Amino acid sequence: MRVPFERNPISRLRSAAFLTIALFIQPLAAYSADEVKPRGVPANSLRRTPVVEVVDRNKEAVVNIFSERTVTRENREKQLELMQLQQRVNGMGTGVVIDPRGYILTNHHVVDDVQMLRVKLYDGTSVNARIVAREPSEDLAIIKIDVSRPLPLTVIGTATDLNIGEGVVAIGNAFGYEHTVTVGVVSALKRDVVLNREISYKSLIQTDASINPGNSGGPLFNMQGELIGINVAIRAGAQGIGFTIPVDNALKVAGELLSVKRRTGMVHGMQVRDALDVSNSVIRRWAVIERIEQGSAAEKAGLKPGDVLDRSGEQKIICHLDLERAFLERSTGDATPLVARRGSNARGEGGEEIRVEISLRSNERAPNQLPADIVWRKLGLKVQPAGADQVVKANPQLHGGLLITDVNLDSAAARAGFQRGDILIGLHLWETVNVDNITYVLNHPDYATFAPMRFFRVRAGQLQRGWLEQ
């Protein structure tokens, strides 16, 4: 029996398509023209979901990071002849603004060993960035961009009261697709993750919100739009298994990275504890002075243990990071205003308001131990400041360094190959643009653990890396 229609696959497809369209259109006929809503969507529309609110609230505080690094690989071109090839590799990541002046928190692995670093803001502005400080063991770093206007900040939340299953939102530079938004839930808490023998993480948040290459260093928000973590890793080969550094840990590390003592060697004399209250629907953070160093600027200003730090100028202080932000870009002797409260209750509220000014001071040194003497004795180097124009050829993001004017032939520096005319631009984890930067490293309490100590120098316009044996 002939069944020509059934033998015609095109006809079958057309019939199926017609049926699908008919089924889709038919219900719409039940609505009158008067019931069709206009395209203009009011602010309280059902389309204005919590996710939309989270993104709108925070998108301008999230930045896209693009980098370029040189990778050296070995290639056997001929038998017994080994040739090294250098290849430029582009990288990407995400960052969160932590200070309106252009300070950005991201992952250390996003900026490690890069020769070029650029940041793109939400409005499309693209600017060069430089590394301010980094902590490889915590996989966190702070970079800086120069901005013509204050940048917005996120609202800081906490990971201490997260619920497994609650909704979260990630924003990041996923595969270079800027400001990609993904949504998921908190899958687990306090995950310990080992990537390899060198890299492991403790007590991470696990989420099924899509975390892709390029999301590293970007934010994870709760549905109230509060920052609860910094995205750091994914499980290779898995689906929906990503990991995030809790914001409470990230704030602590960021405070240390931006501490005036670590950056400049100067001290304010305050040891601060971050306090947190999550008993109400809105979390409360405050910073309490735990200890005042004897003879410090803070003691001379009249501050005492137990005082709650409130603000510096217009800047609110709710954690140690905010205190260190108050001293950013200030020099020795500059007066920094602080407002504190004495006699506050258990939630850090109330108390007598106290207004003081803190003038930064250099660390006390032993008699006759000037910075130049310490550098000569420990490293065998004499240095003088070098301007940015002397190092920009090696890396446009560099702001200067220290020109080597003399090398002790029987010293660690000589054994590392230092020569007159070299420019020292980095030691261990820190930039070296003045002598105090070097002495900070050399006088660090953990100095003995730095061996061998990594250095970065510029020679004949080329960036070089090496190790100093102590």
CB neighbour class for 13 (10 Å; exposed up to 12, middle 13-18, buried from 19): exposed
**pLDDT for residue 3 is more than 90:** no
pLDDT for the residue 70: 65
Q: What is the mean pLDDT of the chain?
A: 83
User: What does the longest C-alpha to C-alpha distance in the chain come to?
Assistant: 112
Q: Are the folds of 58-145 and 155-250 the same?
A: yes
Q: Tens digit of pLDDT for each residue in 73-116? A: 555 444 434 444 445 678 999 999 999 999 999 999 999 878 78
- The 3-state DSSP class for residue 137 equals helix
CATH 2.40.10.10 fits 155-250, yes or no: yes
Q: Which amino acid is at 221?
A: F
254-303 confidence digits (pLDDT tens)? 999 999 887 777 789 999 999 999 988 788 999 999 999 988 999 999 99
With a pLDDT cut of 70, the percent of the chain lying above it is 84
The average pLDDT across 55-61 equals: 97
pLDDT of residue 373: 78
How confident is the model over 183-199, as pLDDT tens digits?
Answer: 999 999 999 998 776 67
pLDDT at residue 33 greater than cutoff 70: no
- Banded model confidence at residue 4, pLDDT cuts 50, 70, 90: very low
59 DSSP assignment: G
Q: Please enumerate in sequence order all residues whose Cβ is within 8 A of that of 14, keeping only pairs 6 or more positions apart, or say none.
A: none
The answer to whether residue 436 is catalytic is no
Q: Cβ neighbours of residue 198 under 8 Å, at least 6 residues apart? A: none
Q: Is 139 a catalytic residue?
A: yes
Query: pLDDT at position 316, please?
Result: 95
136 DSSP assignment: G
C-alpha distance from residue 219 to each of 22, 57, 182, 215, 447 (Å): 45, 13, 11, 8, 33
Residue 81 confidence (pLDDT): 43
Residue 331 has pLDDT above 90, yes or no: no
**CATH of 58-145 among 3.30.70.141, 2.40.10.10, 3.30.420.40, 3.90.1170.40:** 2.40.10.10
Whether residue 61 is predicted with pLDDT greater than 50 in this model: the reply is yes
Q: Where are the domains of the chain?
A: 58-145, 155-250, 264-362, 371-468
Q: What is the CATH class of 264-362? A: mainly beta
Q: What is the pLDDT, as a whole number, of residue 352?
A: 94
In tens, the pLDDT along 401-437 reads: 899 988 887 788 888 889 888 999 989 888 888 888 8
Catalytic residue of the set 99, 108, 109, 248: 109
Instruction: Tell me which of 67, 99, 108, 139 is the catalytic residue.
Output: 139
Query: Alpha-carbon distance 155 to 452, whole Å?
Result: 40
Q: How far apart are CA 470 and CA 465, in angstroms?
A: 16
Active site residue 444: no
Domain 371-468 falls in which CATH fold? Pdz3 Domain (2.30.42)
Considering the entire predicted model, what is its pTM? 0.71
Predicted confidence (pLDDT) per residue in 356-391, tens digit: 999 886 654 444 456 777 888 888 898 988 877 788
Q: Rounded CA gap, 47 and 52, in Å?
A: 8
pLDDT at 289: 96
Which one is catalytic: 67, 216, 296, 312? 216
